[in-house]
Structures are given as C-alpha cells and as structure tokens.
Chain A
Amino acid sequence: MTPRTMFDRIWHAHEVVPETADTPAVLYVDLHLVHEVTSPQAFALLAARGLRVRRPDRTLATLDHSTPTATAELYGHVPMRDAAAASQIAALQRHAAATGIELLDIGDRRRGIVHVIGPELGATWPGSVVVCGDSHTSTHGAFGALAFGIGTTEVGHVLATQCLLQRKPRTLAVEVTGTLAPGVGAKDLVLAIIARLGVAGGTGHVLEYRGAAIRALSMDERMTVCNMSIEAGARAGLIAPDDTTIEYLRGRPRAPAAADWERAVAAWRALPTDSGAVFDHTETLDAGRIEPMITFGTNPAMGCAIGATIPARDDPSYRKALAYMGFAPGERLAGRRVDLVFIGSCTNSRLSDLRAAAAVLRGRRVAAGVRVLVVPGSEQVRTAAEAEGLAAAFVAAGAEWREAGCSMCLGMNGDIAAPGQYVVSTSNRNFEGRQGPGVRTLLASPATAAAAAATGCITDPREFAHRGD
C-alpha cells in the first residue's frame, strides 16, 4: 500500500462524499465547538430556514470571548461594561436552551476558553475532525485531530448538517530536530517556526509538526505550538498521537471509556504518518539553535531572539509596522520599558504556563508602574492554580488574578491597554489595535512575560533561571 500521511488518513475517514473537479468534498465533523461571538448569525440562519440542529450531541458551547473576567461583572454583581456583549451572551444562552446544545455557562466549573476546555474535558480525540468558528481551533491538532477554524456561515452549515464543503488542502511537514535548550519553551519554538515560514507560508496547507523536539513536548506545549499554526496562514497543524497523548486523555470525562477506550487507543496508534509518505513541502529547523523569542512588529512572523537587534528591511509595510511599534531597525529590544503584561489566551493559559510564570514571579514584586493581568484559560485551570498556590504568588507579587476567558487576547470584553502602551503578551496576535486602539503588543512566552513583569522591561527569562528563587 502507498504510504499515507496522518492528514490523508483523517481526511479520507471523514469523506461523506469525495471531491470532484466540480464539487468540494462533503466532510463529516465529529465535534463542533461554539462560542458567543461567531454563532448568533448562524442560529439566525437556521431559524430563517426552519432547520434544526442536526447533532446537538456533537456540539459543545461555551462563553469566553466577550465574557468579563472581573468576578463582579461576570457574576452580575455589577453590570457588564458593554450592553452588546451582554446581549451576545444572552443570545447563546437562549439558542443553546432552544436547540439542546450543551452550554458551559457562566458559573459552570467547566467553562473556559473554547480551545482550552475541549482538550481538558477529553472531548478532543485523535483522528477526529474538530471545527469551531474560531481560527485558533488549530490548537486541537496537538492530539492528532484535524481541527480548523470556520466562518459563521459554515457554523450554520455544521449546525444544520454536521458537515462542511471543503477542498482538500496540501500538506507541509515541519521537522524540528534536536532538543530545545534549557529556558527555551514551546512558545519560543512556534514563534521561531512562524518567523521562518512567514505569515502566509502555510496558506492552503495543513502542517504536521514532526521530529525529536516535537515528540519531547508535553500536551500543553504541543497545544501552544498547534495553536499558532494559523499565524503562519495554515488551516490546521497536526502532531501524531503517542503515549503522551494517550496518557493525557486517559480518564478525562469525555474520553472514551471502558471497552471503547481500548478500541480507541488501538485506532489512535494506527494514525501516525507512514514512513515514506510524501508531503507537498518540508521545512526543517534545529531546536537547539532556538533562543527565547519576542515579536517586535505587527504580525507574528516579525519576531526575533530576545537578545537580538531589530533587523532592517526595505519594505514599506515593514517600515509602517515598526513606526506603529515605535521601534527602529538596529535597535535592541532587551531593556525596553513595558507598561503592561498579559499572561493568558488559548496559547498560554494552561496550568503549566501559569507555573512557568509563577516560578519567575514568586517572592518578587511586579515592577513599579507595570500592570500585570493573569487570566487562566478555564475555570478548572483557575481552581487548580489557586489550590497549588500560583494565584497567591501572582497576587502577592502585585498582579491581577482573574476569572477564565479570552480577555486581553482580543480585548472584546473591555480588557484593553491604552494607546501607545507596550504590552508583553503570551497571546498569539500582535496585530495593530488587537489589544486596544494604538496598543503595541509584543508576543512572548509565559516566562518572558513574567520576567518583564518583574523588571518592568524586556528581559531574557534565562536571567531568572540563573538567579534562582
């Protein structure tokens, strides 16, 4: 038999109708995740056509994007800042109740950022197709699921038919050889990959991350890597399931149970790409050469090692980006003052991310004049972080500790910075105005963000590792 890629296997297993020259494939969706921002118009579409939700049992909804993260606002002790956000939240509550879709509502201990809770609940399975009206659905690819973001009209298509019309994307293997150096993490790795591929390097492709450095990553780290696949323009990013994946899923509430578990594991073990399978393209990186990374521009590919100087490039869009950031070519980033630090988002808000940040901040004080916002990815992460003393360490250092949500990753819920401010952020997008009009975002790892919080300026987190606690 011809050797096949994992992507090819998953694609074929979900083809309800294969593609032809004239028509795209009808692709079956195993799990449809829904949130409040990209769903109201889809429910309206169904209502207008008198259609029902075909498989409420394969649909899971949560509230995360326009949801407040301040406790009093979230639980209604004071009104939400934005009436439109409140009505959007009410709309999903109404639609879920009317259609029988399970909603992890405000007050539910399982609520959180859609891409954090899917894996956490064990709902994301290897070999499945997962979609959501959200581009960072690529996160779930960490489990060897074909997971990609869709628009609102397609959300309507999946609600009505549990299927999507799709043309088959091409494949790009990202081979990461070697070992990450001490003090260098998954966020640094993915920022280095995106800097290499460029923001459009993955357009039309599904990435498969491979190689020794990928195999060595924990599930949390794999999710950080796959999360940002879309920042290279890719539809999805995949990592083959292995013992790490299986141990993560074992016993989770929505993972297969009993006899189903054994059968599922056997199927998952058969998923990885065959040796000799051909990808449309391959990129190779040496993990050992990667250093802690930070971005300096207005797209995630504009990143460099934290100790480097900003490169010069003869391109008007590049110059415009640097002007927006208030930076100049040749300038050093390390040592620049920052105003705010955001630790959160579906890229870096899991327990291990908070541990990495707390390891830097424990026993220290946030630098004078710096605001630090720590927003856990889910209510379960929040509870666990509180139980093991991470939250207390953040608060003692002078950081704000919040309820779960997207928060300042996209600033829809009112968590934003002021024009001109510099924010070191563990999120995934540094686009102009993403964290508020005129705000300058520098993407980095949780350790780098915490180091900036402690010093008030861009700092190589490895300095803290040497100093110890």
Chain B
Amino acid sequence: MEPFGRLRSRTVVLPATDIDTDQIIPARYLTTTSRTGLGRHLFAGWRYTTDGAPQPGFALNRPEAAGCAILVAGRNFGCGSSREHAAWALYDYGIRVVISSEIADIFRSNALKNGLLPMVVDAGLHAWLLAHPGAELEVDLDACRLRLPDGRELPFTLESFARHCLLHGVDELGHLLAQTPAIEAFERQNGR
C-alpha cells in the first residue's frame, strides 16, 4: 500500500444519501479475479446510458471532475455489501479520499486497506462541502485536518491505528503475522 502523503485536490460531489456498494460497483462486474481495472465500471449504472455512452449531467462525467481525487458524498456512503471491489474501483479511478458525515463500517474498513481515506466530518462541514462542488481542499492526514479554500483548517476523525497504517503505508497483515506467538498460545489454551 502506498503511504498517504498530503493531498491537494478539487472535489467532485455526489449529494445522494445512502449510496450503496451496488451503485459504486454493480454485481455484474464482480466476476473479476483481479483488484485492478475496475475504475471504468465505477458508478456504472449512473455514469453510462444503457448503450454505454457517458450519461450527460452525471457529476463524474463533467469536464471539471477530471482529475479530482476527493469525492464528497451524502450521508451513509458505502452501505450494503462487503465487496472490496467498491474500494478498488474508487482507487483505480483515481479517488483517494471519500468524505461524508457517515460512512458504512465494512466499506470504511475496506477503503483503509487500499490507501483510500474514508473521512468522516461533522454535519456543518459536510453541508458546506456538499454545497461547494469543485472546492480545492488540502488533506493533512498527519494532523487530521482539512484545509478549505478560504484557509480555514478543520479537524476530521480517524481511528489512530488506521491513520498510522495509511500514513506510513503499513500493511496490517504484517502486524497480524507478528502476533503469531500469541495466536499459537491462544489456540493451545483454548483448545482450538
């Protein structure tokens, strides 16, 4: 996993609440056995017309969305399935930060394992971000602060271990494997 440095990008906004994983990546694209290449199917049902042409008016298809690495979404982003393909598709497309006032548990966990920052902000900041698509933001993960275009710096929350792993590109599996003696002792003591 790539370490997450400071990031500066304009935002693309999808204001709908409860954007579920079936919208992020529809099930028909889950037959892949690879983690890459899913970016072209990101939000497929909203992004393309039935004959595969770009859906005019969909936020990601507007010229100003090109190159945006920050997605601001309505409350409860990523609900539904455990499919990690949702995080892979966002990352493969070029998204590095997803901001919402609430993010679903499994999606959050999947995002963190793939260098994608799931950022939960308070309702006030969320409302401001939803109302200002294209805002240029700077994310400072080390300080857990988000800098707005007017220079204001506001905090966001991220669990400390997740922040550490993301910041340094630490792979959680390495941390788990280092616990092998404790795992062996647990198995012995508990008849596993």
Binding site for B on A (CB under 8 A): 13, 16-17, 21-24, 26, 28, 30, 37-38, 40-41, 44-45, 49, 51, 58, 65-66, 82, 84-85, 87-88, 91, 133-135, 137, 149-154, 156-157, 160-165, 167, 169, 199-200, 203-204, 230, 233, 235, 299, 315-317, 320, 410-412, 419, 429, 431-434, 437-438
The reply to whether A203 and B30 form a contact with Cβ atoms under 8 Å apart is no
Q: How far is the CA of A320 from the CA of B76 in the complex (A)?
A: 16
Q: How far does the Cβ of A152 sit from chain B's closest Cβ, in whole Å?
A: 4
Say yes or no for B173: interface residue by CB 8 A criterion. yes
B83 smallest CB distance to A (angstroms): 7
- Does B23 contact A431, Cβ atoms closer than 8 Å? yes
Q: What are 17 of the A-B contact pairs (CB < 8 Å)? A: A16-B182, A22-B164, A37-B30, A38-B84, A41-B84, A84-B31, A149-B106, A152-B84, A154-B109, A156-B173, A200-B76, A233-B76, A233-B104, A411-B28, A431-B20, A433-B23, A433-B45
Interface size in chain B (residues, C-beta < 8 A): 53
Q: A16-B179, A151-B84, A317-B16 are in contact. List 9 more A-B contacts (CB 8 A).
A: A17-B179, A22-B160, A30-B192, A91-B33, A153-B114, A167-B159, A200-B75, A429-B20, A432-B23
In the complex, the number of residue pairs spanning A and B with C-beta atoms less than 8 Å apart equals: 173
Interface contact A153-B84, CB-CB below 8 Å:
yes
**B106–A153 touching, CB < 8 Å:** no
Would you list which residues of chain B between 3 and 40 have a CB under 8 Å from chain A?
Answer: 15-18, 20, 22-23, 26-28, 30-35
Structural contact, B18 and A199, CB atoms closer than 8 A = yes
Task: Give the chain B neighbours of A152 by CB distance below 8 A.
Answer: 84, 110
Determine the distance from Cα of A152 to Cα of B23 in the docked complex, in whole angstroms: 19
Given A152-B84, A200-B76, A235-B105, also A16-B18 (CB < 8 A): no
* B79 pairs with A200, CB closer than 8 A: yes
Residue of A nearest to B46 (CB): A432
B173 adjacent to A160 (CB under 8 Å): yes
Is the CB–CB distance between A41 and B183 below 8 Å? no
Q: Which residues of A contact B79 (CB under 8 A)?
A: 199-200, 233, 299
Contact B31 A150 (CB under 8 A): no
Q: Is the CB of B80 within 8 A of A153?
A: no
- A26 B182 Cβ-Cβ under 8 A: yes
User: Does the CB pair A26–B160 fall under 8 Å?
Assistant: no
Give the Cβ gap from A439 to chain B, nearest Cβ, in Å: 11
- B87-A151 in contact (CB<8A): yes
The answer to whether A153 and B28 have CB atoms under 8 Å apart is no
Q: Is the CB of B81 within 8 A of A135?
A: yes
The answer to whether A200 touches B104 (Cβ under 8 A) is: yes
Of B82, B113, B172, B180, the contact of A135 (CB 8 Å cutoff): B82
Residue from A85, A161, A411 with most neighbouring chain B CB atoms (10 Å):
A161
CB-CB contacts below 8 Å: B72-123 with A: 74-76, 79-84, 87, 102, 104-106, 109-110, 113-114
B176 to A203, Cβ gap below 8 A? Answer: no
Of B79, B102, B164, the most chain A CB neighbours within 10 A belong to B79
Does the CB pair B76–A203 fall under 8 Å? yes
Q: Smallest distance from the beta carbon of B133 to chain A beta carbons, Å?
A: 15
Contacts from B to A (Cβ < 8 Å): 15-18, 20, 22-23, 26-28, 30-35, 45, 50, 74-76, 79-84, 87, 102, 104-106, 109-110, 113-114, 159-161, 164, 172-173, 175-177, 179-180, 182-183, 186-187, 190, 192
| Complex alpha-carbon distance, A452 and B54, angstroms | 37
- Asked whether, in the complex, the Cβ of A412 is within 8 Å of the Cβ of B17, the reply is no
A-B residue pairs, 7 tightest by C-beta: A84-B31, A151-B110, A40-B33, A151-B84, A149-B82, A200-B76, A153-B113
Separation in Å of the A237 CB from the closest CB of chain B?
13
Residues of B within 8 A of A230 (CB): 80
Take A49-B173, A88-B31, A160-B177 as given contacts and tell me if A153 and B183 are in contact as well, using a CB distance cutoff of 8 Å.
no
The closest CB in chain A to the CB of B107 belongs to A151
Question: How far apart sit A58 and B177, CA to CA, in the bound complex (Å)?
Answer: 18
Tell me if A135 and B186 are in contact (CB < 8 A).
no
Q: Is the Cβ of A38 less than 8 Å from the Cβ of B83?
A: yes
Q: Nearest chain B CB to A299's CB is how many angstroms away?
A: 5
Question: Nearest CB to that of A410 among chain B residues?
Answer: B27
Contact B106 A150 (CB under 8 A): yes
Minimum CB–CB distance for A171 against chain B, Å: 14
**What is the bound-complex CA distance between A151 and B172, given in angstroms?**
13
Residues of B within 8 A of A233 (CB): 76, 79, 104-105
CA distance A51 to B18 in the complex (A): 38
Evaluate whether A434 and B27 lie within 8 angstroms (CB atoms) in the complex, with A22-B164, A134-B82, A135-B81 already known: yes
**Contact A26 to B176, CB < 8 A, known contacts A17-B182, A200-B75:** yes
B32, closest chain A residue (CB): A84
- In the docked arrangement, what's the CA distance between A87 and B160, Å? 40
CB neighbours of A51 from chain B (8 A): 177
CB distance from A158 to the nearest CB of B (A): 9
A12 to B158, CA, bound (A): 24
